[in-house]
Amino acid sequence: MTASDPGSPGVPAHPPVTSDPPGAPVVCMKSDGTQVPCVTSDGTWWPGSQCYAKPIDAPPGDPAWQGHSDGSLWQCTSCEIGAGTTTCHTTALWMPPGGAPTPPAPGRLAADAVRRMSLAKADIRTAPAAPDHTYIGVENWLWVPVSQWATLSRRVTAGATTVTVIAAPSQVVWDMGSSSETCYSAGSPWLRGMTDAATTSCGYTYEHASESQPDGVYGITATIRYQVDWTCRGTCTTAAGSLGLVDAPAGVGTMRVFQRQTVVIR
């Protein structure tokens, strides 16, 4: 019952079959309603005993067997946080045949895996770039480094159940301060020396100056949204599913917008 990160990107060979709809419950709870991870290094959350359980490999005759010769042994770990310290208690439990804790649904394991993934916080790039300014009616180039447009994977194992999660960048939502723009790629970097004929796959044109905004600039945020799908191996109630679009932390920036001044020459 360990969680591991293979660290290698991957793409599903076939489109996943959606089973758990986006927004379905994907959390484990204590009896008092406190949300806890479904899987940690201590094992799988076992609601019946309010602890994390993982199997113990003890030889026959070990006192933990309590005189039994069949069934299974489990390490049951529970922790309490208080006054800045964490206190954990571990006990050995004997369970009769068939009494092992039931792993969480694959969708819950997938959600746990996503919470441990390093979804990219958008490193906002614009042309022109702050502190330079732009003008009303001029298309501004928007992009994030191509290194942030990478597919991520993570695997979580609970007992005989292994869930592999694939998170693939799907879009970047740019909130430009006056309205938003959704781009379906990392965008194209602007390079010095490009001509006016150059085009971008992600741009935005302001219709109003920023002089009335705080500090005279528009605040910008960019959020990379990942399409998250998962597959299950071993003991699985469902072979595959999807968590839909999951937002990474938003990156922030600014844009100062001027209105062009008309000069009349007589």
pLDDT-above-90 percentage for the chain: 52
Structural domains counted in the chain: 1
Instruction: Report whether pLDDT(234) > 60.
Output: yes
Asked if residues 71 and 94 have their Cβ atoms less than 8 Å apart, the reply is: yes
Q: Is there a domain that residue 124 lies in?
A: yes
Instruction: Report whether pLDDT(135) > 70.
Output: yes
Q: pLDDT for 158-177, tens place per residue?
A: 767 889 999 999 999 999 99
Q: Is there a domain that residue 34 lies in?
A: no
Q: Is there a domain that residue 218 lies in?
A: yes
Domain that holds residue 163: 106-110+118-258
Residues 6+ away with beta carbon under 8 Å from 94? 64, 65, 66, 68, 71, 72, 73, 74
Q: Is there a domain that residue 238 lies in?
A: yes
**Other Cβ atoms within 10 Å of 176 Cβ, number:** 21
**Other Cβ atoms within 10 Å of 225 Cβ, number:** 18
Q: Is there a domain that residue 125 lies in?
A: yes
Q: Is there a domain that residue 68 lies in?
A: no
> Nearest to residue 204, comparing CAs of 223, 169, 179, 170?
179
Q: Is there a domain that residue 171 lies in?
A: yes
Distance CA 182, CA 94 (A): 55
Q: pLDDT for 51-106, tens place per residue?
A: 998 888 889 888 889 888 899 899 999 988 877 888 999 999 888 887 777 767 88
pLDDT level of residue 262 (50, 70, 90 thresholds): low
Instruction: Report whether pLDDT(48) > 80.
Output: no
Q: Is there a domain that residue 180 lies in?
A: yes
- Range of weakest confidence among 7-16, 48-57, 84-93, 106-115: 7-16
Distance CA 201, CA 181 (A): 12
pTM of the entire predicted model? 0.69
